[in-house]
Structure 1
Amino acid sequence: MKKFSRRLAATLMAQALGLAALAPLHSFAQPADAAPAPRPTIVLVHGAFADSSSWDGVVQRLQARHYAVISAANPLRGPSFDAASVASVVDSVKGPVVLVGHSYGGSVISSAANGKANVKALVYVAAFAPEAGETALGLTGKFPGSTLGPTLAPAVPLADGGKDLYIQQDKFPAQFAADVPLAKARLMAVGQRPIAEAALNEAAQAPAWKSVPSWFVYGDRDKNIPPAALAFMAQRANARKTVVVKGASHVVMTSQPEAVTRVIVEAAGH
């Protein structure tokens, strides 16, 4: 009986040791909690007659929501040249990117995102989303409503034979930034960045919005790009969401930064 008891105890001990040996293997086999996806970096691209400071209100709100933000300098020389410049900024980011373009900057991001696997979304802010072969000037005139032409100053000749375009400073507030406080709009008029005349006539390349999800936001009082043209481009791009801000001018990101920020955050979290 004692021998049987000793054998039973030894068997139970061996089983216990075997289970203990297997325990670490069992724990290693448990699936680890998936690491949260990194937040995308938001790359903002300004358009013609504006500069990076036009995004200041949006930048402040994105940073308050703990997003990394880059407000890229857009050369405004032509979609191909400018897209290469913005693409180099995208390449410098280690991780996902949301590309955001205002006005002519939409033409730039449409091309810059091509072949960039880390670009997860495109956001068009009162912006062009051209099809291959289309021009900014052609899209502006596709629907009635733009009053930009008569407000342009005489073109400035450049040493290379090209021409730069500005909006007349006294006409800038009403044309470009009617819902921005007048004192600020006048500062924007003085600091406006010119666009090369040729850039508005350069045909777009194949657009990234055909393969990258897009969001649109614009004002219904836009005098540069007719709201009908913006609605057409948003529908054609099968935008995930289109937000029309009542009473907003062409610089909706300056006058209504919270509305624009919400659209960018939605695109970043899709």
Structure 2
Amino acid sequence: MDGVARAWRRGWRLPLVLLHLLLGALVAACLPGRGERVPSAWPMVLWCRVLCRILGLRLTVYGDPLPGRALLVANHVSWLDILCIAAVCPTHFLAKQEVAGWPLIGWLCRRAGTAFIRRGDERGARDAAERLTWRLRRRGGRVLVFPEGTSTDGRGVRRFFPRLFQAAIRARCPVQALALRYPHAGGVHPAVPFVGDDAFVAHLWRVLGAGGLHAELHFLDALPPTLSRDELARRSHAQVLAVVGGQGWPDQAPGSAAIT
């Protein structure tokens, strides 16, 4: 029965995803091109909300994102993280350089104002920090980064590399940690983690057939830019680990941005 259910889900989800990607391409083509102007994040918000519904991905939000300028930092489990975050919080992203080369998806990300970083490249990290600082200094600038530097299986949180936190200090804007969970019986939903040698198309195929997808987004207490970058990395990591590690934040109730 599980195989039949997966085939049925793929049968109706796949054409809708392809149609939605085409719609996204048409919208992206109307956005401002490259240059000093950073395009609005709101078209991406609406597009991602619809795509989450097509994939059967239910979202629950705890807390609220900071208004105005902020550097958001989150644990990284899958490319689905970007869909979930963008669906509830207008923001721009910093992604690994490989994403820029993904068919259509990479082009959509570039048109939406995503910045890219070459992993393991000292100069690339320095350039990324400079671009982040520029974007955060803009009125209402909000950017999200994944400071683990890679994705995980969702059962823990790797150390946060402090270099990119320097952008918040230079821009004098707060840092807000965001903890992502994909709860499922027995732990993390097995279709979600995108790790190791996973190929995007193969992983998307798994997601298209999956049922019971649910993401929790926990927006946590802001940290001031007066702290050192090492302290910002340490404290935000501890905040995220407290949620992902199961210790939880029992005093939080679903925020006003909750989507089901």
**Do Structure 1 and Structure 2 share a fold, with TM-score over 0.5?**
no
Q: TM-score range by the shorter chain?
A: 0.3 to 0.5
Task: Answer 1 or 2: higher relative contact order, Cα 8 Å, separation at least 6.
Answer: 2
Which structure has the larger Rg over C-alpha atoms?
A: 1
> What TM-score do the two structures reach when normalised by structure 1?
0.32
